[in-house]
C-alpha cells in the first residue's frame, strides 16, 4: 500500500501552505492561504482518497 504523507506535504509546501504545529495524536496542523483555512493532516497517510480530500481542501490542483 502506498503512503502519501510525503507527497501531500511536498504538494502543500509547493503551493504556499505552511506547517503550523503538531496536533494531538497523529495529526499535524497546516494553514492554506489559498482557502484561508487550517488543515488537519495525518502523520501516516495511507489512503489516496484522503490525500486527495486534503489537497482539495487546501485549494491545490494536484491529485493522486
pTM metric for this prediction: 0.90
Domain membership of residue 15 (yes or no) is yes
Tens of pLDDT, residue by residue over 16-45, are 999 999 998 899 999 999 999 999 999 999
- 57 φ, ψ to 5°? -60, -30
* Cβ pair 48, 2 in contact under 8 A: yes
Q: Which pLDDT value is given to residue 2?
A: 73
Mean of pLDDT values over 2-28: 94
Which domain, by its residues, includes 37?
Answer: 5-58
* Cβ pair 17, 28 in contact under 8 A: no
Domain membership of residue 64 (yes or no) is no
Domain count, the chain: 1
Q: Rg for the chain (alpha carbons), in Å?
A: 11
CA distances from 3 to 8, 23, 25 (A): 10, 20, 18
Domain membership of residue 43 (yes or no) is yes
CATH number for the domain including 11? 3.30.920.30
Amino acid at each position: 500500500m502506498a503512503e502519501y504523507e510525503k507527497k501531500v506535504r511536498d504538494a502543500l509546501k509547493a503551493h504556499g501552505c505552511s506547517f503550523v504545529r503538531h496536533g494531538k495524536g497523529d495529526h499535524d496542523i497546516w494553514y492554506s492561504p489559498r482557502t484561508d483555512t487550517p488543515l488537519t493532516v495525518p502523520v501516516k497517510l495511507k489512503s489516496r482518497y484522503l490525500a486527495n480530500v486534503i489537497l482539495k481542501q487546501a485549494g491545490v490542483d494536484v491529485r493522486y
